[in-house]
């Protein structure tokens, strides 16, 4: 018997010896006093490049700011919300309103939009919900039910949100007036520092435009902000939780990390303007009878020509992340 | 030594197996399992039982990891284009230069790595009106590199070195670049105390070895693959 107790495991502890955390690593905690989940991004997170740019977290009231940020502001409350740096390790609030539902109790129409639950979460007991798919060509609706009632009663609810890095840059656009004059308009960025947000909407990477038409559309849709996914955060309820259960500390968080290093950001400017023709026609022919008619036609042609020039001209500022 | 081993297959429960007796057998079996002590496992045996301490991972070695002791910065070895950069052994430069791995050149004995430190003084503190940050950067002096290419190919203490900069704002950076023809990349941000006497914390920016590339838009640093 003595030998048995000699080998009995009394205590087994594991110790993460390295303590290494990579940049942009997201950790989550439940703040019971504020009744919400909060995210923290590891402090060694910058947008690199020639200057290590500090990244701003969402603005928060003075009493929620980390001590380091308050010291930087001279311990004087400016009476307006302040954006701390991510390197100050602030706790970014994730209120209940910004979590989107996935799986079992998700809106069937939104569920048909294509967001799937990752396989590891399905293995943990999350389940797909009902999906309503609309076929516009055939004009049919298909409602697929996510399993039997007994199966559905044991499923775990899923909530998700995306933490996204934004870098604002200059944006140029071409304007053409009716006289065919092209002008380049330069919009300066509203925010000078990169910033992160926690957003309800799913982040989808911008498509790389291929054809001229896609380039033109992309240039029109350009908001002057380059986004990059830092991580997608999931919460899993206990098995069998009723639909639309409120989020609390019993939910289990999982992070699908999207960024593991400090990215660099580069802005590329391209300006290649194709001048419009600006057709003119000598007036006074036939005693000036056709002048008004000809001028009206010419104005129309010139306007279309200006638009065509706008289409083939390129005035774009594109941003790019790289390592 | 354990008194007996039980066949794990015999422990497998079947439908209808009473739970409590099975659980007791299972625990008895688990207690007989030996612990094989390997790397990162420490076992302490006591009359009451055994404590097992498992270190789950080996320390991660990060290139250019900056740590401090007072105003001395120690930087772990990293490379730019496979070359280890240099630092000055003291601020005056009288004691010469040393590579981060302790090498001091072909004619001198290598310095112990423990003595290789980037030494700052209170004069290096950022201005009081700034945010209290300064930067440890890696600087590749490309013009000097090109000038010295014929004489001594490769990077040297003059062309690839660590430098301390009090300001990396675009204006100051561009001016410095225009003047010296150097390409900078920050290794770490140093956050000074409000009174600008001590360094309070260090933000590590670079976590990998670097590669120097030149393209149409200038010279940049990229992660080495």
Cβ-defined contact of B203 to A52 (cutoff 8 Å): yes
| Bigger pLDDT: B23 vs B52 | B23
- Paired tokens of A246: 């409120």
Output the pLDDT for position A5: 55
Apex CA A163: angle with CA A264 and CA B169, to 5°?
35
Dist. CA A124–CA A119, nearest whole Å: 9
Whether residue B141 is predicted with pLDDT greater than 90 in this model: the reply is no
Ranges assigned E (strand) in chain A: 9-15, 26-31, 36-41, 92-94, 100-102, 131-135, 140-144, 158-168, 171-176, 182-187, 195-199, 225-236, 252-257, 264-272, 314-322
Higher pLDDT, B129 or A168: A168
Bin B102: left if φ > 0, else alpha if -120 < ψ < 50, else beta. Answer: left
Express each pLDDT in B47-89 by its tens digit.
777 788 777 666 677 899 999 888 889 999 998 888 899 988 7
pLDDT tens for A245-274 read 999 889 999 999 999 989 888 777 766 666
pTM higher than 0.80, yes or no?
no
CB atoms within 10 A of CB A273: 15
Interface contact A15-B185, CB threshold 8 A: no
Q: Distance between alpha carbon A28 and the CA centroid of its chain, in Å?
A: 19
Residues of B in contact with A9 (CB under 8 A): 30-31, 35, 49-50, 52
Low-confidence ranges of chain A (pLDDT < 50): 1-4
Give residue A251's pLDDT. 92
Which has the higher per-residue pLDDT, A138 or B188?
A: B188
- Which residue out of A19, A52, A269 would a mutagenesis test of the B interface target, given it has the greatest number of B Cβ atoms within 10 Å? A52
Query: A171 or B35, which is more confident?
Result: A171
pLDDT of A33: 85
Averaged confidence pLDDT in chain B: 79
Residue reference for tokens 């950076």: B173
Instruction: State residue A322's pLDDT score.
Output: 66
**Three-state secondary-structure class, residue A93:** strand
Per-residue pLDDT band for B1 (boundaries 50, 70, 90) equals very low
Nearest CA in chain B to A8: B49
List, for residues A220-249, the tens digit of each pLDDT value.
Answer: 677 788 899 999 999 999 988 888 899 988
Residue A85: the pLDDT is: 95
3 state SS of A174 = strand
Which one of A13, A48, A68 has the shortest CB-CB distance to B205?
A48
Give me the interface pTM, i.e. the ipTM.
Answer: 0.72
pLDDT greater than 90 at residue B35: no
With the C-alpha atoms ordered A196, A202, A208, A209, is the resulting torsion angle positive or negative? Answer: negative
């Amino acid at each position: 018997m003595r030998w048995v107790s000699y080998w009995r495991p009394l205590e087994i502890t594991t110790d993460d010896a390295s303590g290494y955390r990579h940049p942009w690593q997201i950790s989550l905690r439940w703040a019971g006093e504020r009744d919400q989940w909060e995210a923290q991004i590891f402090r060694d997170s910058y947008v690199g490049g020639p200057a290590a740019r500090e990244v701003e977290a969402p603005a928060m009231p003075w009493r929620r700011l980390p001590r380091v940020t308050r010291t930087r502001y001279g311990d004087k409350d400016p009476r307006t919300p302040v954006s701390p740096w991510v390197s100050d390790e602030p706790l970014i609030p994730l209120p209940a309103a910004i979590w989107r539902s996935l799986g079992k109790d998700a809106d069937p129409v939104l569920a048909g939009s294509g967001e799937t639950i990752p396989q590891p979460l399905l293995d943990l007991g999350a389940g797909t919900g009902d999906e309503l798919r609309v076929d516009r060509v055939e004009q049919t609706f298909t409602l697929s039910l996510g399993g039997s009632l007994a199966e559905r009663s044991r499923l775990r609810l899923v909530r998700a949100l995306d933490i996204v890095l934004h870098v604002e840059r200059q944006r140029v656009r071409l304007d053409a007036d009716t006289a065919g004059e092209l002008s380049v308009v330069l919009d300066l960025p509203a925010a000078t520092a990169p910033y992160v947000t926690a957003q309800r909407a799913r982040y989808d990477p911008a498509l790389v435009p291929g054809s001229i038409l896609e380039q033109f559309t992309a240039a029109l849709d350009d908001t002057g902000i380059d986004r990059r996914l830092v991580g997608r955060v999931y919460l899993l309820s206990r098995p069998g939780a009723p639909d639309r259960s409120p989020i609390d500390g019993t939910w289990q968080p999982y992070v699908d990390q999207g960024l593991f290093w400090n990215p660099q950001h580069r802005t590329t400017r391209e300006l290649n303007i194709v001048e419009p023709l600006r057709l003119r026609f000598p007036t006074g022919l036939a005693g000036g009878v056709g002048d008004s008619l000809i001028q009206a036609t010419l104005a129309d042609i010139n306007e279309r020509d200006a638009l065509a020039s706008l289409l083939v001209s390129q005035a774009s500022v594109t941003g790019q992340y790289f390592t | 030594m354990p008194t007996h081993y039980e066949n794990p297959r015999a422990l497998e429960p079947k439908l209808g197996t009473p739970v409590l007796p099975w659980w007791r057998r299972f625990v008895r079996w688990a207690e007989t399992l030996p612990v094989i002590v390997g790397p990162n496992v420490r076992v302490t045996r006591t009359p009451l039982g055994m404590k097992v301490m498992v270190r789950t991972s080996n320390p991660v070695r990060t290139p250019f990891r900056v740590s401090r002791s007072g105003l001395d910065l120690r930087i772990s070895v990293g490379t730019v284009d496979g070359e280890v950069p240099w630092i000055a052994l003291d601020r005056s430069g009288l004691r010469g230069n040393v590579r981060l791995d302790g090498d001091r050149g072909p004619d001198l004995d290598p310095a112990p790595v423990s003595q290789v430190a980037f030494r700052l003084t209170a004069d290096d503190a950022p201005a009081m009106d700034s945010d209290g940050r300064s930067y440890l950067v890696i600087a590749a002096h490309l013009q000097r590199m090109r000038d010295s290419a014929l004489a001594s190919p490769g990077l040297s203490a003059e062309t690839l070195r660590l430098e301390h900069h009090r300001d990396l704002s675009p204006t100051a950076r561009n001016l410095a670049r225009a003047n010296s023809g150097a390409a900078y990349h920050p290794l770490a941000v140093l956050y000074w105390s409000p009174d600008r006497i001590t360094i309070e914390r260090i933000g590590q920016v670079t976590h990998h070895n670097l590669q120097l590339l030149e393209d149409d838009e200038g010279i940049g640093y990229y992660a080495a693959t």
